[in-house]
Structure 1
Amino acid sequence: MDLRTLLQPATQLLAPLRHLSSSSSSSSVLLPLIATRGHKTTARTKRSLKMAPHDSFLPSRSAAFPAADQIIYNPPASEASPEHTPFLFLPRNDPRRLAIMRLRNTSQLSTSASSSAGADAAAGDGELPPEMRYKRRQPKYNLTKEHIDEMRRLRAEDPLTWSVQRLARKFECSTVFVQMAAPAPEEHLRWLRAKMERKKERWGPIRTAAREDRKRRAEMLYRGEL
């Protein structure tokens, strides 16, 4: 078989490329660049750097958390200081106990001396910081039984118009007192619950999961797991 016969398919494939290169060089046609997306977005970087917490931060599944004989000590990633070393990790006959006590006493004495010197200087100069001015609410005991009855009547007649805030402004009392003295009728509470349920139906999966996580964290906080 002739060598030219074997090279014929290859020459046929390379012919259009040679034609394209010659035409582009003659007419100065630029080929479009192919855009590639890199790892540059904030969300992707945060997901890649997200690490699970250490096991000591997680609640114990086998027993009540925290246990009576359990201590969690997670110091920060910084230089260790002997003043912050708990005595629980040192034996009773360890000489470092006396050194730590000596360091703590020295630091306390220096801190108290500096604070007393600053107080003496301020007292000597007669310059004190200005008094904080913020709105203080003085308690009022101006409500009688007739006022409370009127508050309950207004709340029962039209709970939408006479809300808790409006009643508190009218009778010059706190919203907590209005909620205790004149609670909303049961029909209004059912209407509010139905309104909230209709609002929840429009939530997406992300918002629903966020509300469930918030409720779960609150329950864990009440149980002492956070």
Structure 2
Amino acid sequence: MQTRALAGLSRRAVDGARRAQSTAAAAKPFVAKKYKNATPTPFPTKFHPTFSANNAQPVLPVGLTFNPPPAAPSPYDTPGLFLPADEQAKRAVVTPALDGPLPPALTTPAPKGYHLGEADVAEIRRLRAADPVKNSRTALAAQFKCSPFFIGMVAPASEERKDEMAKRLSAIQQSWGPLRRKARLQRQKRRELVARDD
């Protein structure tokens, strides 16, 4: 019937009509056949509804389950609850043996000195109370060869000095732009989150 309809057309028109018919046939959606008695594959496949790996439902035993990764067993990775009641195995976990020397420290620890006595502490407090601007924690620490933390611990700043420093800080903050103010607020929030330790 199609041949009769194409008989009166030119060769070019016939080729165009056949090309259109093949394109329409190719545009039909592919429908997969459903087999009732499907042969199971040697391994679960993703596309089969019965033997799919996505339908796997593992059955776990009742109680506490320890499922380690597929690796060699090690007493350092296994929780102590699952170790045998052997003192040597648990002692190995508590005090692991070191195979070699430790790596070098990232920073050299500062040597601690305990050379200051009661007279030195009294002199630090006197200088700090006499002129807190000149005798700051950094200046006194360099003078007495100790840390600024120790100076702040034995001779804290007075209330007048704290109020003066707070006023200076507020005057500096008034000159901040929106970007710096936002950055400082974000820094404060990060410190609060770190202090929470959630």
Please give the range of the TM-score, normalised by the shorter of the 2 chains. 0.3 to 0.5
Larger radius of gyration: 2
Larger RCO (CA under 8 A, 6+ residues apart): 1
Q: Which has the higher helix share?
A: 1
Normalised by the length of structure 1, the TM-score is 0.42
Normalised by the length of structure 2, the TM-score is 0.48
